[in-house]
Homo-oligomer: A and B are copies of this chain.
């Protein structure tokens, strides 16, 4: 009755369908924003019932791999769109005012050999190279965040030229538009630190000012590590907000 390989007892059908659909997203067959075939089309294609496909897609929706819209269709996630754009950005003003990025100073951008820590965290080859750049982010004309980003050349070939051509302040937009890479999940570590000389200079503060240090690793579809970044934040009028369910 089904064209899916179904040995006597195997994983649920809907789970196998899910994996097949994800495969077509990972392979680049379906890029961010692409509309999937209808439930009935997919059901016919794989020889299962529409309800089974629905269950597979519901799971993918719960994983935020797709979004469904009644009357329109099911679409591969594009996370850098307005609605989800600030999902990964947790710095907010204490007074609740809308954050306005008024400046974005690039301190440097170069290609470097990866450090041992980067090779480990990003699962790189021993002689891998990375793009490394530091930026100072100003909100309402005040420098608030020193941002240090590390990107594997293997994932973002030619990133330096792409960035210098169009220095988009939101790099996740560049990831999606220029490289078809979607950040699905980030792991972060937060600490309070005393400002070093370099940090104090970049943020125009006194040495040893308490700063919030945020170390992030970002992962793409299939849990592939994609990015490391460190944020050094001045949290006198701003804070990091988090919601745990």
* Known contacts A64-B245, A190-B242; A211/B210 CB under 8 A: yes
Q: How far is the CA of A12 from the CA of B170 in the complex (A)?
A: 40
Of the stretches A39-47, A158-166, A179-187, the one at the interface is A179-187
Task: Find A188's partner among B185, B188, B208, B242 (CB 8 Å cutoff).
Answer: B242
**Stoichiometry (number of copies):** 2
Is A243 interfacial (CB-CB < 8 Å)? yes
**Min CB–CB distance A124 → chain B (angstroms):** 21
Judging by beta carbons under 8 Å apart, are A189 and B240 in contact? yes
* Known contacts A62-B62, A64-B245, A244-B88; A210/B188 CB under 8 A: no
Closest chain B residue to A184, Cβ basis: B245
Is A27 interfacial (CB-CB < 8 Å)? no
Task: Find A210's partner among B64, B90, B190, B210 (CB 8 Å cutoff).
Answer: B210
Q: How far is the CA of A64 from the CA of B244 in the complex (A)?
A: 12
**Min CB–CB distance A146 → chain B (angstroms):** 13
* Known contacts A62-B62, A184-B245; A192/B192 CB under 8 A: yes
Give residues of chain A (58-113) contacting chain B, Cβ–Cβ below 8 Å: 62, 64, 87-88, 90
Q: How far is the CA of A243 from the CA of B244 in the complex (A)?
A: 10
A241: chain B residues at CB < 8 Å are: 187-190
